[in-house]
Structure 1
Amino acid sequence: MDAPLANQQPLSHLNIFAAKGVQMRTFHLTWLTFFFCFFGWFGIAPLMPLVREQLHLDKGQVGNIVIASVSATILARLIMGKLCDTLGPRLAYTLLLVVGAFPVMLIGLSNSYESFLLFRLAIGIIGASFVITQFHTSMMFAPNVVGTANAVAGGWGNLGGGIANMAMPLVAAAFVSLGYIDEANSWRLAMVVPGVVLLVMAWLYYKYTTDTPRGNYADIQRTATAEKPKGTFLLALRDYRTWVLALAYGACFGIEITIDNVAAVYFVDHFGATLVLAGMLAGIFGFMNIFARGLGGWVSDRMGRTYGLKGKWLLLSGLLILEGFGIVLFAVAPSLPLAIAAMLLFALFLKMANGCTYSIVPFVNKKAMGSVSGVVGAGGNLGAMLVGFLFKSSAISYSTAFLYIGLGVAAVGGLVLLVRLVRKEIGEVAPESLTLARA
């Protein structure tokens, strides 16, 4: 039996094998829900060669679809960050899952470029699940371990994008082998699967999670010092660190979801890989989330305990610079084996940078944690949207686009370092000595 909710506090340790208690139950449901959100969000990506052929899409149209897939997420993340501060993560997540499930299931009804583009745009709202995930784990864990908890939950959830690249071609092939549909249309039926799963997760999340260790927002007697904060969005925007983190997240997570969208097509077109092989290779990139993002959060927490927030910022800058260098190597790789090696290299630093970024977010503004999380998360998608224009240009090859991206990411890493050197915080202390406001 769980202890009475009124007596529950954020956990000061993370045991990933534990499931007892409202904190760990919420942790596991949160990352699992996030996993299926990413699975649904990028489920169509490895099937794009089939969609491209059937709907007769050109490179510019495929590029627009890539941009659309991440565009709606920008606004959705801002909204969900605010709803976490006011409505609570439990209801916010349930609402998002129910609404997001329908375009995932119904994208198979598309019969033109325009209709497919609109469905892909609508599916993008479920990318806001990340903001709720990070907010909810921040509520459940104490400052000394919140970076690790956020990174593990985020990494295991992001894994859904990689597994989708591996699994969706197999799901589509299974429907074909069972005789339900022909290969050209198999993507239509395959996308029903993740949509149904999202509805199931909505019910589980509503029934088995709580907003805070002490209960749901609506059930807690809130004191004058623990009232729902007002004007949280403005509080987030006024802090320059919010913008620096948003820029950094655009350079790591923004690139990650771009890779999730275009990797399979790149391996098919540039190296002549089969659809299944290309999906598997793209899936390897996403599969590294099982450890790399969590590693970034863990290292960041260690740096924080030793050097304070300054250590976390320095780590983030270094990871971004190394990520950019790895992407440049990926862009110029002359063969498939070398491209895979370079991909694994930059994927490690990219996903560690993801974890490091959100290990800093809870310490920016304790009164507006949801809004800060939303703005930073939106920055990730804005970065993906901007680099998406490189992939729609008929004058730029995919490999050239990756080269430009690598140089840009390294420049962002240097800029993060420069800003922190210029705007040195007065009185920064080690994260474990900071106190986060809990609802």
Structure 2
Amino acid sequence: MVEEQNIYKGNKKILFMTTFAFFLSFVVWFNMAPFASTIQKALQLSNEEIGVLLSINVALTIPARIIIGMLVDRFGPKHVYAALLIFASIPCFWFAFADSFWQLFMARALLSVVGAGFVIGIRMVSEWFPSKHLGLAEGIYGGWGNFGSSAAAFSLPLLALLFGGENGWRMAIALTGVLCIVYSFIYFKSVENTPSQKEFKKPRRSGAMEVTSYKSMAALMLMSIPLYAALALITWQLSNTSLISNQIAVAVYTALAAVYGYNLYKIWTVNRDHLRKGVPAKEQYSFKQVAILDFAYFITFGSELAVISMLPMFFEATFSMGVAGAGMIASSFAFMNLVARPGGGWLSDKFGRKKTLIILLAATSAAYLCMSQIGSNWPIAAAVLLTMTCSFFVQAGEGAVFSMVPLVKKRLTGQVAGMVGAYGSVGSVLFLAILGLLNPSLFFLGISIMAFCCFITCFFLNEPGKEHSKEKVPAAEEKTEKSGKEVAI
């Protein structure tokens, strides 16, 4: 017990510092939302243009999570998080002082990269906590970091009022960029990639995820398609609004196809040599694990973002509520992150990761099925209680997913987290697109059916601790794991 405490000494500080970095990245990522109507009036934008700015805010997050995942595994989370925060400040300042729609558009597109910050901390936290406490630690990181979006919603308007004048919103947004720069230096000076007695394991090759069989390589190639399809869907939506011409849309489609082709080439070149030689048993991992976790996060995180977007209008229309009341109910869905995501991680640590994820996905499916039945004849209190229950299961499921991600393959944690996280963003893009085609009842029912399919798929997961056992761990940690003693984080 004492030896393990020495290995991970200072891990609470690392968790706090990294969680705040994630929190700050979400404040910056969502710093437009509280000022959408103000910006629309100030720059005389149409409803269509405001909608595009809100949707483009997630566009580059999808490829960025893949790229950032590779960089984290290559250079370490300390350097990459500090660099990302500095990078985020540039489009943040550009957006704050933009005076045209296209300047706002470019700034928001670049700012969407900061959404990839989530991936960095997954690797950092996994280095500083033993596997038996990893679920709770990752849950705290994810849940409290996600709270940055809610913090931006209630704090930035107050800052704008303090600055005063018609440019108060500009100063409040610019301040978030200043905070990014300041904290990037604080973070870089305050953390290390690993405890002093641990080695930071890097992939042998960069440019694509390493796999350990030809079957896994084919699966990786297929699993990459939705990442590009989501960007194509966003492009199609933009062309339908006439904000970009059909010619530009075709050019984007062509570019996406070319990048996907290059991605296939990199997957082949990174993996061909070691696959030809044969991968030793101790180095192998099942890509099936990654694919199932992709699907699980697609359902949980993807549906969360879509539901948060539609809940205010849903409650307003269903119960003839005022805008303020409907907004408060909708915010409760996001606020559950503070307890639900750490709760899902803790349950995974306590009762087994595979079993916990299966139960939470079954509960998510049931909760969404119940939400599809909400109507004006329901008591509002019952509808709110069901909504909060559903949000708990959804976000606890997210915590359960990321309690497993770092255990698939240690030296590939950044890339695995990047792909799983990207699938969450793909899910949000798809669910938001479906939302425009279905009524709320069918929308909730569709999510319920997909969650049930994912529930069935998760029976094919391997308990990730068994995969993780092939990785070399410090002797002291191995000794304490065998003894069954626990150390509180």
For normalisation by structure 1, the TM-score amounts to 0.79
- Would the aligned equivalents of 1:292 and 1:351 in 2 still touch at CA under 8 Å? yes
* Counterpart position of 2:451: 413
d(CA) in 2 for partners of 1:336 and 1:54? Answer: 37
Select the structure of larger CA radius of gyration: 2
* Counterpart position of 1:250: 298
* Counterpart position of 1:18: none
Identity of aligned residues (%): 27
Q: What are the within-5 Å matches in structure 2 for residues 76-95 of structure 1? A: 76-95=64-83
**Equivalent residue of 2:59, what SS?**
helix
Select the residue among 230, 239, 248 that pairs with 2:205.
230
* TM-superposition CA deviations, 1:213-251 (whole Å, max 9, x none): 1279xxx6x8xxx56433561338371221221222122
* Counterpart position of 2:104: 116
- Would the aligned equivalents of 1:52 and 1:62 in 2 still touch at CA under 8 Å? yes
**Equivalent residue of 1:50, what SS?**
helix
- Would the aligned equivalents of 1:327 and 1:405 in 2 still touch at CA under 8 Å? no
**Equivalent residue of 1:71, what SS?**
coil
Q: What are the within-5 Å matches in structure 2 for residues 37-436 of structure 1? A: 37-176=25-164, 181-182=165-166, 185-214=167-196, 228-230=203-205, 233-235=209-211, 237=220, 239-259=287-307, 271-274=321-324, 281-304=329-352, 309-325=353-369, 328=372, 340-390=384-434, 393=436, 396=437, 400=438, 402-421=440-459, 423=460, 425=462, 428=463, 434=469, 436=471
d(CA) in 1 for partners of 2:77 and 2:344? Answer: 24
The alpha carbon displacement at 1:268 in A equals 7.9
Counterparts in 2 of 1:102 and 1:377: CA distance versus 1, 3 Å: same
d(CA) in 2 for partners of 1:402 and 1:39? Answer: 29
Give the number of equivalent residue pairs. 398
d(CA) in 2 for partners of 1:132 and 1:227? Answer: 14
- Would the aligned equivalents of 1:164 and 1:283 in 2 still touch at CA under 8 Å? no
d(CA) in 1 for partners of 2:32 and 2:170? Answer: 9
d(CA) in 2 for partners of 1:144 and 1:61? Answer: 48
d(CA) in 2 for partners of 1:105 and 1:261? Answer: 26
AA at the equivalent of 2:293: L
What do you get for the CA RMSD once the two structures are aligned? Answer: 3.4
Counterparts in 2 of 1:342 and 1:64: CA distance versus 1, 3 Å: farther
d(CA) in 2 for partners of 1:37 and 1:429? Answer: 29
d(CA) in 2 for partners of 1:273 and 1:382? Answer: 29
d(CA) in 1 for partners of 2:356 and 2:297? Answer: 14
Counterparts in 2 of 1:172 and 1:390: CA distance versus 1, 3 Å: farther
d(CA) in 2 for partners of 1:343 and 1:190? Answer: 32
- Would the aligned equivalents of 1:93 and 1:202 in 2 still touch at CA under 8 Å? yes
The alpha carbon displacement at 1:267 in A equals 7.2
The alpha carbon displacement at 1:349 in A equals 1.5
d(CA) in 2 for partners of 1:333 and 1:36? Answer: 41
* TM-superposition CA deviations, 1:52-93 (whole Å, max 9, x none): 344454554344333211111111111111111111000010
* Counterpart position of 1:17: none
For normalisation by structure 2, the TM-score amounts to 0.72
Counterparts in 2 of 1:242 and 1:403: CA distance versus 1, 3 Å: farther
Unpaired runs of 5+ residues, structure 1, are 12-20
d(CA) in 2 for partners of 1:284 and 1:83? Answer: 35
Counterparts in 2 of 1:54 and 1:248: CA distance versus 1, 3 Å: farther
